[in-house]
Amino acid sequence: MKLPELDKPDRYTGLYIFDFGDHTGVGFTAEEVAELLESERYREGKVYKIHRAYPDGRLELKGVPAETFQLESGMVFYSTTSEVARADFKRLVDTAIEATPPCRAKVHLARYGEERLAVAFVYPAEYEDEVSAWLLATGYQTAGVAEGGIGVVERYYRDAPEILEQHQLFGTSERISRTGDALLVSVRQAVQR
């Protein structure tokens, strides 16, 4: 895979490279990649996330399976008391109000049976690294046991707990994603941003 020379490579950290097979584009957002993979024409493309970029133009890449853009990931924070669970829920929502998360997400206060309560934090799987960094940066902590990952969210949906409260979070992005024709007319450009 031959990549173009990038002006200010550090600006590309967190963005994606899309290998179309006959050419490569650098600088796609997660939303743009998801849309390309949903299309009939580009569904076989290969995707790489730019984890680090160095001043000399070198990039650290991580391959990202196409399925990742169709899945949700998240964390489930368990509690045995209603008071602790409600406090965890409120603290997570308040944290998101003070420091906007990197992507859209939903927060549920859920009950499993009579005694087991949980706070579920669910977001698009392609934002796993960014959400983890956001949680660490904000210092969010809970009092109980926590689990995370795609499988945890799949199990959460399968168990279908009773949702007592819910809150939708809207992420912030410095980069505006293109959609539809605006995205498709640019796929031949080696550098997207």
Domains of the chain (ranges plus CATH)?
9-67+175-184 (no CATH), 70-169 (3.30.70)
For residue 124, what are the β-bridge partners?
72
Residue 178: pLDDT over 90? no
CA atoms 19, 25, 28, 34: torsion sign: negative
100, 172 Cβ separation under 8 angstroms: yes
Query: Mean pLDDT, to the nearest integer, of 38-54?
Result: 93
- 119-152 confidence digits (pLDDT tens): 999 999 999 999 999 999 999 988 788 999 999 9
Residue 166: pLDDT over 90? yes
Q: Which residue did the predictor score with more confidence, 1 or 98? A: 98
Residue 5: pLDDT over 70? yes
Query: Mean pLDDT, to the nearest integer, of 99-126?
Result: 92
DSSP structure class, residue 171: -
3-state DSSP call for residue 71?
coil
3-state DSSP call for residue 94?
helix
What pLDDT does residue 55 have? 87
Q: Where does residue 16 fall: left (phi above 0), alpha (psi -120 to 50 degrees), or beta otherwise?
A: beta
190, 24 Cβ separation under 8 angstroms: yes
Buried b / exposed e along 165-184 (16+ C-beta atoms within 10 A): eeeebebeeebeebeeeebe
What pLDDT does residue 176 have? 80
Query: Mean pLDDT, to the nearest integer, of 16-25?
Result: 94
Main-chain phi, psi angles of 44, to 5 degrees: -95, 5
What pLDDT does residue 174 have? 60
pTM exceeds cut of 0.85: no
